[in-house]
């Protein structure tokens, strides 16, 4: 059996869309206050852009992508303009996704940005601080 490039692309897009739908429903349930000013179309568009940003930074697994989406909820979509360490960390080609997120969480903790305890699952899921 041979799978064509078109089939792989179709399955990839379907998988991404399914993940995005699940994530959007979960975000609206768990963090409704973050989306109260947006209609559903705007929310879906924001999430699409945020997931695409994650992919650009080499973050392509659901767990890590969800963590980055939550970081964007906490810091705002202009985080790279507000925090010099944000872009430097995400664009570092020597770091894997989990390492990038751990470093981002370390910076957020050091700066005392409130709300991190609500979004940081890294320690709970992966262990160690």
**Domain-located, residue 25:** no
**Domain-located, residue 2:** no
**Domain-located, residue 15:** no
pLDDT higher than 60, residue 117:
yes
In the chain, how many domains are there?
Answer: 1
69/57 Cα distance (integer angstroms): 13
pTM as predicted: 0.84
- Chain-centroid distance of CA 129 in Å reads 20
pLDDT higher than 80, residue 123:
no
Q: Could you report the per-residue pLDDT of 40-68, keeping only the tens digit for each? A: 899 999 999 999 999 999 999 999 999 99
**Domain-located, residue 117:** yes
Report the chain's terminal Cα–Cα distance, integer Å: 46
71/105 Cα distance (integer angstroms): 8
**Domain-located, residue 58:** yes
Element (H, E) at 71: helix 62-75
**Domain-located, residue 54:** yes
pLDDT of residue 67: 92
**Domain-located, residue 17:** no
Q: How confident is the model at residue 126 (pLDDT cuts 50, 70, 90)?
A: very low
47, 24 in Cβ contact below 8 A?
yes
Name the residue range of residue 120's domain: 40-129
For the chain, the farthest-separated pair of C-alpha atoms sits apart, in whole angstroms, at 54
pLDDT of residue 103: 95
Show the CA angle centred on residue 18, arms to residues 16 and 22, nearest 5°.
115
Q: Could you report the per-residue pLDDT of 27-40, keeping only the tens digit for each? A: 999 889 989 999 98
């Amino acid at each position: 059996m041979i799978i064509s490039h078109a089939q792989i692309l179709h399955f990839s897009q379907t998988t991404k869309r399914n993940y995005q739908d699940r994530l959007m429903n979960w975000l609206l349930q768990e963090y409704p206050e973050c989306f109260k000013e947006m209609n559903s179309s705007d929310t879906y568009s924001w999430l699409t852009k945020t997931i695409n940003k994650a992919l650009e930074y080499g973050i392509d697994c659901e767990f890590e992508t969800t963590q980055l989406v939550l970081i964007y909820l906490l810091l705002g979509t202009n985080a790279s303009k507000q925090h010099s360490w944000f872009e430097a960390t995400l664009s570092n080609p020597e770091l894997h996704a989990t390492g990038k997120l751990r470093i981002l969480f370390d910076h957020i903790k050091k700066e005392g940005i409130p709300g991190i305890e609500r979004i940081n699952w890294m320690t709970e899921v992966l262990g160690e601080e």
